Structures are given as structure tokens and as C-alpha cells.
């Protein structure tokens, strides 16, 4: 009888592949439950889906989008890009120079292990509750994963490639740009992928502590107003945003790194 | 490649075998360690000089921070905060590991189970977990329940997905052989699939350990529920700047120690799989 029990994932599953529509069942059920439960339960914490959607449709366009979503996204983009550039440049420098690596490694390891949120009160204290504080907190969260990965990528470049380039008379900078950077790109990209959700988290946290606008600020504001449907709307928007950013990054990565698929 | 790669940098400073560095012997490591130490010392000295010169209340001198650190540690306040944070983070991480591994095993070994929850987990995973903290505060109030649940929720995803990928990557031949020898389904999962997926599982736990700490501190910052996060924000509000920086320093050390601890566990459990991470 032992033959009858097989793991369904193996090459030829007994049940066949699950139908295409199966993934849609649970979300539909959950949304329906949300609606019914919200209508029937009467709990303040679970407003029906329809009410959440109504709040969303009525108040978000264009007010909340202009007032909160766009500033959040702007700071997210600024912080992420700034940290990416700094992290890649510094990381490549560290990865290409054994000496620099020796000197900086413990410090960088420590800073990477330091959870970026812990720096938030310091940033608020020094920079206040403005845009510069939020962007710098995002930068702090993104910088070290990118830097460490860029360094690892640059370190893993085969030395004979670098030496060949130098032999052909390329300057150190040209070697970095034309030889090391392309070889390190898959690793750099892995670091950026890790950093993407961190940037989003830091964006939200930096707004949760207060301020004038942003999705996180909207969340705390509505929490204080006890406007649960609005909070749900904001969480759903953040979920969609997280998914969109992931998908966008995957698309960019596929386009830029298509040659590294098999590397 | 998808796994976060902190160990690529970290392991080379430890004992990991280094293919790319044939000279990685004792003297070379010692010199590297010395240089790292020199940089730290010089950095602190430079900061000391700069902060003394500008005399800003935003940037206390490193010596002041050291004094505050010793005082707070001796006083016990920081130690209590530290233990609170560590306890919440570890509790959340432990819960996430148990649930994540079990769910990952199930979802990785059954295409049907995965298809059922696919859309839900794929929507929830990229959702920034901190956005749920205001909800958690409303629902569970201020206290360690909220902190632990937040840490649990956020660190669940890396464990779950890494386990899932690990299970999917297991060699079908190994599984089929175990089957042939008459092992039951659960036995195969426990004795064949789980060990083979262990490197992935531990990668997930390593990523999750950092996330658990982040969430713990975030909740502490936002709810004033004790812990180092609250310690830092309290000192910030009280404008006791050296104490605030001392708190940040302690969090950094905590993060570093947790990372080292997880790495040590990894090395211990994966002694048979050394080559994997170099």
C-alpha cells in the first residue's frame, strides 16, 4: 500500500496539476467573508469591505493620493536611488581594494547589523520631522545591504580579468566601470532586491512617527481618529504598492540582467 | 543568488574556506583584524576631536556616550530594556521558525496546497509589515503581545519562502529512494526533505532574525512598551543625547550578536554542507 502514498509535487503528480483558477478561490472567499463578517459582526475593527472601498473611492482621489501617496513615493525613490548609488560606488571600492576592505570591514559589519529603525529617533532629533530626516533614514536602511553585496560582487571578479584590463592600459576607474561593474552586477542586483522592501519599511516607519504627510502618517492619523476603514484602505494600498514595486524591479532586472541568466 | 548574501562578506572574516583567497591563513587574517581595529579606533578619535570642536548638543563626544553607556548598563535600566527587546525578538523569531518551516514544508511539497494560498501569500509578503503595527496596537493594545506578534508576522515570510524553495529543490531521486524503502510521507518529509532543505531554511532564519529585531524595535518606538526601542525614544524626548546614542550602540551590538549567533547555528547544523555558502 506504500506505493499509493506519493508526494503530489513529484514529476507525475497523482492529482494532476492544480487548475488555473484555484489561486483565485481563497482570495474571493476571504473578501466575501470580510464583507459578510463586517456586515453581520458589527465589530468596529472589521468594517465591511464595501465600506472600506467606499472610503477609498470617495476620499483618496485625488486628495490622499496627492497629499500622501506621492510625497511618500518621492521620498522612497530619492532615498533608494541615493543609497543605491553611494552603496554601489563605495561597495566596489571596498571590493576592489584589499586594504580598504581590511580597514572598513568591522565598521561596515556593525553598521549593517544595526537595525535602521533604531537610528530613527536620532534622525528625528538631529534633522526634525522633515523630508531630509525621512530620506536619510531610508538611505541608512538601504545603503549597507547594497554596499556589502556590491563589495562581495566586486571581490568575486576573476583577478585575471582585472589584470588583463590593466595590462591593456585601462585606468583603475575604467577597469572598475568596464570590467568589475558588469561582473558584479548580478550580486549588486541581489542587494538592491533585498533593499527594496527595507526602503519601503523605512518609508512607512519614518512617517509613522509623525509629520505632515505620507502613507504612514495617514495610517497613524486615521488610527487616532479611529477611522478603521481608512486604515484598511491604506494597508491595502501599501500592499499593492509593495507588489507593484517588486514587479517593477523584477522587470528592470530582467531587462538589464538578461545576459546573466545562466551565469 | 536570491538569498540575501550577508554571509558572503561575513564568513570570509571567519573560518570559511576561501577559494578566491589562497593566502587566507592566520597572519593575513590577523593583519585584517588589526587594520579593522585601527580604523575603529581612529574613527572614534576623529569623532572625539570633531565633536569637541563643534560642541553641538546634537552630537555628544564619544567619551560622553561611553560614560552614559556604562552608567545605564550599571544602573540596570539598559540591561532590562535589552533583555526585553531580545526576548520579544527571539520569541517572534521562534514562532516564525516553527510556523514558517511547517507551512513551507506543506506548501513546498504540495502543488495544490500552494495553489490554494498562492495569491494571498504573494500579496501579503511584499506588504510592508510595519503598516500593520497601528492595527496591532488597536487590536492587542500596548504590550509584549503586540511586539511579539509583529516580529512573528514579519519574520514568517523569509522562513516560509526559503523553506518552500528548499523543499522544491530537493532531489527527486532522494525522495523516491526513501519512498522505495517504504518510508511514509511524514517520514520522508522529516528525514529526507527537511535535512536537504535545511541550508535554505537557515538562510531564511538568518534573514528573519534581522527582520524580527527591526519589528521589535519599531513597535517599541511606537508604543512606549519598554525595550531598547523605547529606551532610545525616551532618551530622545528627554534630550539626554549621550544616553540616546548609547541605546543605538547597544542595538547595533545586539543586532551583530544575533547575526553571529544565527551564523554559528548555521555552521553547526550545516557542517556537512560547507561549500554551499562560499
Could you give phi then psi for residue A154, rounded to 5 degrees? -65, -35
Binding-face residues of A in 34-53 toward B, CB within 8 A: 45
CA–CA dist B147, B119 (Å, integer): 27
| Whether A239 and B123 lie within 8 Å, measured CB to CB | yes
Of B40, B119, B130, the CB nearest to A24: B119
**Predicted confidence (pLDDT) at residue B278 exceeds the cutoff of 70:** no
Q: What is the pLDDT confidence band of residue B274, given thresholds at 50, 70 and 90?
A: low
pTM of the model: 0.85
- Is the model more confident about B274 or about A9? B274
Of A15, A22, A239, the CB nearest to B116: A22
Binding-face residues of B in 49-88 toward A, CB within 8 A: 58-59
**Predicted confidence (pLDDT) at residue B96 exceeds the cutoff of 70:** yes
User: What are the pLDDT digits (tens) for A13-30?
Assistant: 556 788 888 888 899 999
Q: Does B120 touch chain A (CB under 8 A)?
A: yes
Q: Does B271 touch chain A (CB under 8 A)?
A: no
CATH 1.10.3720.10: does it fit domain B72-273? Answer: yes
Cell numbers representing residue B117 in the block: 494560498
pLDDT of A2 reads 47
The 3-state DSSP class for residue B142 equals: coil
Q: Please give the ipTM for the structure prediction.
A: 0.83
| Whether B126 and A239 lie within 8 Å, measured CB to CB | yes
CA–CA dist B127, B219 (Å, integer): 17
**Predicted confidence (pLDDT) at residue B25 exceeds the cutoff of 60:** no
Q: State in Å, rounded, how far the first CA of chain B is from the last one.
A: 12
What mean pLDDT do residues B53-70 have?
90
Between A and B, how many CB-CB pairs are < 8 A?
Answer: 218
Provide CB contacts within 8 A for A195, sequence distance 6+.
Answer: A80, A83, A84, A87, A141, A142, A145, A146
- Pick from B3, B10, B4: which is nearest to B267 by CA? B10
Cell numbers representing residue B34 in the block: 588589526
pLDDT of B2 reads 39
Say if residues A33 and A26 touch (Cβ distance below 8 Å).
no
Q: Which residues of A touch B31 (CB under 8 A)?
A: 102
- Is the model more confident about B216 or about A12? B216
Positions in chain A short of pLDDT 70: 1-15, 42, 261-263
> Which chain A residue has its CA at the smallest distance from B257's CA?
A113
Q: Does B22 touch chain A (CB under 8 A)?
A: no
pLDDT of A163 reads 87
Cell numbers representing residue A209 in the block: 512617527
Q: What is the pLDDT confidence band of residue B23, given thresholds at 50, 70 and 90?
A: very low
Boundaries of every domain in chain B:
72-273
User: What are the pLDDT digits (tens) for A69-79?
Assistant: 999 999 999 99
Provide CB contacts within 8 A for B220, sequence distance 6+.
Answer: B85, B88, B147, B226, B227, B228, B229, B230, B233
User: What are the pLDDT digits (tens) for B121-165?
Assistant: 988 988 988 989 988 888 888 888 899 999 999 999 999 999 999
* Block residue for cell numbers 516560509: B160
Amino acid at each position: 500500500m506504500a506505493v499509493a502514498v506519493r508526494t503530489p509535487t513529484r514529476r507525475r503528480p497523482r492529482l494532476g496539476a492544480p487548475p488555473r483558477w484555484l489561486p483565485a478561490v481563497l482570495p474571493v472567499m476571504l473578501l466575501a467573508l470580510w464583507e459578510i463578517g463586517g456586515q453581520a459582526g458589527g465589530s468596529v475593527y472589521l468594517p465591511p469591505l464595501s465600506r472600506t472601498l467606499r472610503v477609498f473611492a470617495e476620499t483618496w482621489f485625488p486628495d490622499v493620493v496627492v497629499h500622501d501617496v506621492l510625497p511618500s513615493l518621492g521620498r522612497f525613490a530619492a532615498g533608494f536611488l541615493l543609497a543605491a548609488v553611494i552603496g554601489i560606488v563605495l561597495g566596489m571600492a571596498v571590493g576592489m581594494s584589499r586594504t580598504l576592505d581590511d580597514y572598513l570591514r568591522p565598521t561596515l559589519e556593525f553598521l549593517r547589523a544595526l537595525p535602521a529603525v533604531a537610528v530613527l529617533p536620532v534622525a528625528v532629533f538631529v534633522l526634525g520631522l522633515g523630508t531630509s530626516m525621512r530620506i536619510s533614514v531610508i538611505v541608512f536602511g538601504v545603503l549597507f545591504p547594497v554596499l556589502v553585496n556590491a563589495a562581495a560582487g566586486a571581490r568575486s571578479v576573476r583577478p585575471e580579468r582585472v589584470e588583463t584590463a590593466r595590462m591593456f592600459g585601462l585606468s583603475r576607474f575604467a577597469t572598475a566601470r568596464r570590467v568589475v561593474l558588469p561582473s558584479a552586477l548580478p550580486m549588486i542586483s541581489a542587494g538592491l532586491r533585498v533593499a527594496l522592501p527595507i526602503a519601503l519599511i523605512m518609508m512607512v516607519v519614518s512617517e509613522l512617527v509623525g509629520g505632515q504627510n505620507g502613507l504612514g502618517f495617514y495610517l497613524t492619523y486615521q488610527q487616532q481618529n479611529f477611522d478603521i476603514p481608512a486604515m484598511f484602505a491604506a494597508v491595502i494600498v501599501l500592499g499593492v504598492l509593495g507588489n507593484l514595486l517588486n514587479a517593477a524591479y523584477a522587470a528592470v532586472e530582467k531587462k538589464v540582467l538578461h545576459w546573466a541568466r545562466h551565469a | 543568488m536570491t538569498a540575501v548574501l550577508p554571509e558572503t562578506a561575513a564568513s570570509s572574516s571567519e573560518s570559511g574556506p576561501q577559494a578566491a583567497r589562497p593566502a587566507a591563513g592566520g597572519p593575513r587574517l590577523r593583519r585584517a583584524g588589526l587594520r579593522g581595529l585601527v580604523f575603529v579606533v581612529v574613527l572614534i578619535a576623529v569623532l572625539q576631536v570633531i565633536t569637541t570642536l563643534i560642541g553641538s548638543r546634537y552630537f555628544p563626544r564619544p567619551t560622553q556616550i561611553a560614560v552614559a553607556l556604562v552608567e545605564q548598563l550599571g544602573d540596570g535600566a539598559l540591561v532590562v530594556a535589552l533583555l526585553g527587546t531580545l526576548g520579544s525578538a527571539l520569541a517572534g523569531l521562534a514562532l516564525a521558525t516553527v510556523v514558517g518551516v511547517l507551512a513551507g514544508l506543506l506548501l513546498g511539497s504540495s502543488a495544490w496546497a500552494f495553489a490554494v494560498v498562492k495569491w494571498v501569500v504573494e500579496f501579503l509578503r511584499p506588504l510592508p509589515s510595519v503598516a500593520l503595527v497601528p492595527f496591532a496596537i488597536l487590536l492587542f493594545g500596548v504590550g509584549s503581545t503586540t511586539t511579539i506578534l509583529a516580529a512573528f508576522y514579519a519574520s514568517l515570510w523569509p522562513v516560509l519562502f526559503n523553506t518552500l524553495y528548499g523543499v522544491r529543490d530537493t532531489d527527486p531521486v532522494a525522495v523516491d529512494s526513501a519512498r522505495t524503502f517504504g518510508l511514509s510521507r511524514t517520514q520522508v518529509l522529516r528525514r529526507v526533505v527537511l535535512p536537504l532543505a535545511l541550508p535554505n531554511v537557515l538562510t531564511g532564519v538568518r534573514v528573519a532574525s534581522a527582520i524580527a529585531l527591526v519589528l521589535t524595535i519599531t513597535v517599541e518606538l511606537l508604543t512606549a512598551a519598554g525595550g531598547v526601542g523605547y529606551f532610545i525614544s525616551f532618551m530622545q524626548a528627554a534630550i539626554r543625547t549621550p544616553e540616546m546614542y548609547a541605546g543605538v550602540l547597544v542595538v547595533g551590538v545586539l543586532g551583530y550578536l544575533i547575526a553571529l549567533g544565527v551564523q554559528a547555528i548555521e555552521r553547526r547544523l550545516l557542517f556537512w554542507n560547507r561549500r554551499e555558502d562560499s
